[in-house]
Amino acid sequence: MHFISVAFVLGVLHQVAAAPAPLFGINLGTGSSSDATPTPVSQDDITNNLLRPALFSRAVYCSTEAVEKWACGDSCDALPNVKVLAAGGDDGLIPRFLVAHDADEDTIVVAHQGTDPKNFLSDLNDLKFAQVGANKTVLPAAGDDIKMHDGFAYAQSRTADIVLSTVQSALESTGSKKILVTGHSLGAAIASIDAMMLKTRLDQNLSLSAVVFGLPRVGNQAWADFVDQTLGSSFTHVTNQNDPVPRVPPQSLQFQHPSNEIHITSVDSAGNIATAESCPGQENSHCSDGFDILDFSIDNHRGPYFHNVSMGNKFCTL
């Protein structure tokens, strides 16, 4: 089963088709764009920097009960020595989430579930394209010019308090100085807002990294610039071939990606070896922003991304 619904894709294409500019590989909006040449990403970089976040992003799709016990089959077995500190969500209005201590890396991990068509409420979250101002309780440093996707902002706000308080107590109880925030699809959007919340509200001496997969556009140009200025190279968003989700909401509706995209250009037939490149600047025309939106692949959104990691409830083996 594809885990973005047909209704979602049709809604996306309707919005893009209504844009006043040509579609094919052209920046539809007024935000920044880049045509700088991408550089190759090594297999070592994929393994060392992207694999562990991807495994957590996969595991958080599993049931809360299984995640709390860290007994969700292959998704949990791939990450030994993890202690879950908080988990919740209902696979719908509140997407699943976890906060855990990864003892092998001495890192506090926050992960959020993405979209699955088995729950229509998750699709509704994705299909709201209106913008709202930043929630100043969540992001007190956000300027008035920052506008965000209302569904993503609201979804993040539902778990913001428990995520923040659990991370704060975990840092104190474990002595860890590192935080990883990750997620896929809708979970990537929530995770990116979480990363900004944690970075701006916790001790600035902490090391925080955010690695997200299949990220839709979360906010406007001011939001993208805010992410770049606040997180810099500690934020990475991974796109997979012709995945349509990173292309929505469209730039014509004043949405913009931040910098630091890593774009997967191909994956071998076994799903293990990915060819990827680092894309300079925002909305690089050589990467996800450059492919024809009508040539999309829902399978690319699910994966595999690399090391045979695909995302979705169906990959929870227990």
**Active site annotation includes 243:** yes
- The H-or-E segment that residue 239 falls in is strand 235-240
Cα–Cα distance measured from residue 232 to residue 271, given in angstroms and rounded to the nearest whole number: 30
Q: Name residue 146's amino acid.
A: I
Selected catalytic residue, list 194, 243, 259, 289 = 243
On the question of a cis peptide bond just before residue 304, with omega within 30 degrees of 0, the verdict is yes
Nearest to 52 by CA among 313, 307, 318: 307
Q: How many Å separate Cα 250 from the centre of its chain?
A: 17
Nearest to 108 by CA among 84, 72, 138: 84
State the burial class of residue 114 (Cβ atoms within 10 Å of its Cβ: 0-12, 13-18, 19+).
buried
Cα–Cα distance measured from residue 184 to residue 182, given in angstroms and rounded to the nearest whole number: 7
**Active site annotation includes 34:** no
Nearest to 156 by CA among 113, 199, 220: 113
What φ, ψ does residue 174 adopt, rounded to 5°?
-95, -20
Nearest to 142 by CA among 204, 216, 200: 200
Selected catalytic residue, list 57, 122, 176, 185 = 185
Cα–Cα distance measured from residue 30 to residue 34, given in angstroms and rounded to the nearest whole number: 13
What residues are annotated to the active site? 185, 243
